[in-house]
């Protein structure tokens, strides 16, 4: 007959575990292995937990798929940054201490800046999945690499896609009213648009008014009526998901039917919650955001694996997070395959020489410039069609034709 653990045994086991855990930080020497240990730092709790967990889905797919694709064994060492710069830094130190050969993450520019310093100090490569602050790759770091557009590129790509949209639909709206949330994210976008828009002389429209609003607002009656009063041809909108829902409902209430609603580079209108809350009213909203190429073989492979691993979820609602996180891990695995070692300097050098053409996300090949930045990551024009985000531009990746001007909401 087996007996359960008594109190003393349990206490001893707990003390032993605690002692092992406490002493671990002092053990530094580690053997190299044929497996690549990847420290994945993501904000899986705290304010950004939704995005962190979404990115984690992409990381979780990587070991199996990369083994199949590249024949490389990778081991994930997951760490939660708790949406805190302080924690990001200590967790990065801890992962390196535990033997991580390369770090990947962290869906935040502040955390990325903190982790980059640790990696630089310790000489461990760091592949950023998502973080848009341009300064991160302007610091002269030798071990930091980023496969994600900078905030400037995000807005430039988003505005550039508007030209493509107007050309594809043979329209030329003359005016837009710009509405944006007044939080840090919205302000940053507004500033970028304010700086870049005047330099793009190929856009046919003028911004006739700019209206900012509180993202926590429960009512946007005044803001929407003010926007409607401008008689602008379309609405340029930087929103988040909740205020986006309120705003769309208010537009219907006030019977305001502009040519369309276009988000120049922000999430919000292609998220699962947006469709669930608005149903048919979510139709035809447009978001110009980094996206995966639905026609690429790799995207299809990842989608199948995603469906198997997350039967109740859909890749399209995690596209950006899963895509860029998976690609970051793919970069590390590919470099490991070529370097044939986990030695950090050789690994960093191999990452620098990366040239991956078979990719999931839209854009040119993954190839780092001298600063460790991948140039040429593109955005897609995503339109809500049949209650799902659908790629309508660029034409090569399009799943449907763009609809602009959009029909009256009563006809949807």
Does 210 engage in binding with another protein (CB under 8 A)? no
Does 117 engage in binding with another protein (CB under 8 A)? yes
β-pairing, 175-181 vs 206-213, is: parallel
Does 109 engage in binding with another protein (CB under 8 A)? yes
Nearer to another protein, 210 or 300 (CB): 210
Nearer to another protein, 46 or 204 (CB): 46
What character string, x for contact with another protein (CB under 8 A) and - otherwise, covers 68-107? ----------x-x-x--xxx-xxx-xx-xx----------
CA distance 37 to 341: 11
What character string, x for contact with another protein (CB under 8 A) and - otherwise, covers 12-41? -----xx-xxx-xxx-x-------------
Nearer to another protein, 81 or 354 (CB): 81
Kindly tell me which residue out of 73, 75, 120, 209 binds another protein, with binding defined by CB under 8 A. Answer: 120
Phi, psi of 206 (to 5 degrees): -115, 150
List of residues 6+ apart from 340 with CB closer than 8 A: none
Does 139 engage in binding with another protein (CB under 8 A)? yes
Which is it for the CA torsion 202, 203, 208, 212, positive or negative?
A: negative
Q: How far is the CB of 228 from another protein (least distance, A)?
A: 27
The beta strand positions in 47-151, using DSSP E, are: 74-80, 102-105, 126-128, 144-146
CA distance 131 to 15: 40
In the three-class reduction of DSSP (H, G, I as helix; E, B as strand; rest coil), residue 68 is classed as: helix
Does 188 engage in binding with another protein (CB under 8 A)? yes
Phi, psi of 148 (to 5 degrees): -160, 140
Q: How far is the CB of 407 from another protein (least distance, A)?
A: 36
Q: How far is the CB of 74 from another protein (least distance, A)?
A: 17
CA distance 80 to 44: 5
Angle at 254 between CA 384 and CA 187, to 5 degrees: 65
Residues forming contacts to another protein in the complex (CB under 8 A) are 17-18, 20-22, 24-26, 28, 44-45, 49, 52-53, 78, 80, 82, 85-87, 89-91, 93-94, 96-97, 109-110, 113-114, 117-118, 120-122, 133, 135-136, 138-141, 151, 183-185, 187-188, 191
């Amino acid at each position: 007959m087996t007996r359960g653990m008594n109190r003393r045994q349990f206490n001893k086991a707990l003390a032993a575990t605690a002692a092992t855990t406490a002493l671990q930080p002092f053990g530094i020497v580690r053997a190299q292995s044929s497996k690549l240990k990847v420290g994945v730092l993501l904000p899986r709790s705290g304010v950004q937990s939704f995005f962190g967990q979404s990115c984690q889905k992409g990381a979780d797919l990587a070991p199996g798929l990369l083994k199949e694709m590249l024949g490389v064994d990778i081991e994930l060492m997951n760490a939660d940054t708790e949406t805190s710069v302080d924690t990001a830094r200590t967790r990065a130190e801890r992962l390196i201490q535990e033997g991580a050969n390369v770090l990947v993450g962290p869906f935040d520019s502040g955390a990325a800046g903190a982790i980059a310093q640790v990696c630089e100090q310790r000489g461990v490569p760091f592949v950023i999945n998502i973080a848009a602050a341009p300064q991160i790759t302007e610091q002269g770091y030798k071990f930091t690499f980023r496969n994600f557009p900078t905030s400037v590129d995000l807005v430039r790509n988003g505005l550039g896609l508007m030209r493509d949209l107007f050309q594809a639909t043979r329209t030329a709206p003359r005016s837009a009213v710009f509405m944006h949330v007044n939080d840090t994210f919205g302000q940053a976008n507004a500033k970028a648009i304010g700086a870049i828009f005047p330099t793009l002389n190929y856009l046919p429209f003028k911004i006739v008014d700019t209206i900012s609003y509180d993202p926590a607002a429960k009512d946007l009656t005044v803001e929407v009526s003010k926007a409607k009063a401008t008689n602008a041809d379309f609405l340029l909108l930087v929103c988040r998901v909740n205020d986006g829902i309120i705003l769309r409902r208010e537009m219907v209430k006030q019977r305001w039917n502009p040519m369309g609603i276009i988000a120049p580079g922000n999430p919000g209108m292609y998220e699962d919650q947006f469709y669930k809350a608005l149903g048919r009213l979510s139709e035809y909203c447009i978001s110009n955001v980094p996206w995966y190429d639905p026609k690429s073989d790799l995207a299809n492979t990842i989608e199948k694996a995603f469906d198997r691993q997350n039967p109740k979820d859909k890749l399209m609602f995690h596209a950006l997070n899963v895509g860029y996180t998976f690609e970051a891990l793919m970069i590390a695995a590919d470099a490991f395959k070529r370097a044939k070692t986990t030695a950090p300097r050789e690994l960093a050098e191999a990452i620098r020489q990366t040239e991956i053409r078979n990719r999931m996300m839209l854009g040119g090949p993954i190839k780092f410039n001298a600063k460790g930045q991948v140039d040429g990551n593109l955005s897609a024009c995503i339109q809500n069609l049949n209650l799902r985000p659908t790629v309508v531009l660029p034409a090569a990746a399009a799943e449907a034709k763009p609809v602009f001007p959009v029909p009256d909401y009563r006809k949807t």
